[in-house]
Amino acid sequence: MTASRKHSCRLVVVTETYPPEINGVANTMYQLVTGLERLGHQILLVRPRQSGEPLGLSRPQSHPRAGTAEYLVPGLPIPGYQGLRFGLPVGGRLLSHWQQWNPQAVYIATQGPLGRAALNSARRLGLPALTGFHTQFHQYSRYYGLGLLMRPIVKSLRRFHNRADATMVPTAALKAELARAGFKNLRVFSRGVDTELFSPERRCHALRQAWGCGERSIAVLYVGRLAAEKNIDLAFAAFAAIAATNRDCKFILVGDGPERERLTRKHPDYVFTGARVGPALATHYASADLFLFPSLTETFGNVVPEAMASGLPVIAFNYAAAGQHLRSGQNGIAVTQGDRDAFIEQAVDLARNPPRLRELGQAARRSAAAMDWGHVISDLEQDILALVEQKATAEKTDARLVATSD
């Protein structure tokens, strides 16, 4: 039964990133907001304002339905992440506005100052609060010479998330890992993929020609942030090994980041497209032949199901999205986590075998058909409604106890 047949809830969603910003968390939050809205809920989206946007309440053009509004708060730029901002701890503003709007639950996707202020406000108002574990900041620290901070970062994250009624994680494997680290009340909020947008039907020969690829060329693709924490150097090593055995190949990198300028200078023959979104991104996926994803710091990795839905065979390490969706040798290749040599070897072997590339790509597309966002959001909705109903039941019980004592 959908929420619209039960009752419409007023839900606050707090996030530091949202489209048109380009990253996996922004895409997930867009799917969450629009999906819950379609199920009949009223959404208040709280996020840091971007340049030129007014502070306070607004109704964005990107959300024309009456059920969605935005509350924009002050923020500051995130060093090294162009265009992204972190929200300031404006608990007083949130508390004042929520007392007027009277939400029934809060979903907090940010673990920074804004998220902590939002959680404090929810606790003060007695609101059910869910937090989302969307980014493994503790894993990023080792790539920026801050490995000694990993333990205190984990401790801080655990203290934050354990104050919530539930923490949503994208995979059962991460749920088990965080449980071992002392995180409580963990539930799985998986990720979906838009199989209409990401489709093999978008393959474009003109785009391949622009890349310098003929019909028999092997177009090797990477989509993601060009940054150290993405283990990007392994993708370059794997492509170099492919090129050593097959000169008719091209490496296409879709994305931006602090490493782009250096990598472009070092590899002038590779195709650096910059960031792509929507149909343009989907066309890039579908026009390639092999997808390399070497990252070891993913909370999920939305690019894996996007590539699969586009009919691409994926080579990735066997955790997060790859661990959940890849059946190695059947619909892609999942390599033992951290085995650099095996990653390169599998990339070379697969690139040498075009029929095998097509076979795995077709199987990947069939697998992606089951990753529908509608089912994912419906499952999340049930978790939210359960917390709302628990609070309502507790309030009725308290009211009866007060009445009895009087």
- Output the CA–CA distances (angstroms, integers) from residue 222 to 19, 113, 175, 275, 302, in the order listed: 21, 32, 27, 11, 13
How far apart, in whole angstroms, are the C-alpha atoms of residue 97 and residue 103? Answer: 10
Asked if 373 and 31 touch (Cβ cutoff 8 Å), the reply is yes
Nearest by Cα to 96 from 121, 114, 66: 121
* pTM higher than 0.85: no
Domain with CATH 3.40.50.2000 in the chain: 3-192+372-405, 200-368
For residue 54, the model assigns a pLDDT of 83
- Decide: residue 369, CB within 10 A, 0-12 exposed, 13-18 middle, 19+ buried: exposed
For residue 89, the model assigns a pLDDT of 87
For residue 24, the model assigns a pLDDT of 82
Q: Which CATH number is 3-192+372-405's, of 3.40.630.20, 3.40.50.620, 3.20.20.10, 3.40.50.2000?
A: 3.40.50.2000
Q: Which CATH number is 200-368's, of 3.55.40.20, 1.10.3720.10, 3.30.70.260, 3.40.50.2000?
A: 3.40.50.2000
Residue 125 has, within 13 A of its CA and on its CB side, a CA count of 25
Q: What is the mean pLDDT of each run of 10 residues along the chain (406 residues)?
A: 60 93 88 93 92 76 60 82 76 93 94 93 95 64 45 85 94 89 92 94 97 95 92 96 95 95 95 96 98 90 94 95 93 96 97 96 94 89 92 72 61
For residue 81, the model assigns a pLDDT of 61
For residue 251, the model assigns a pLDDT of 98
How far apart, in whole angstroms, are the C-alpha atoms of residue 316 and residue 301? Answer: 10
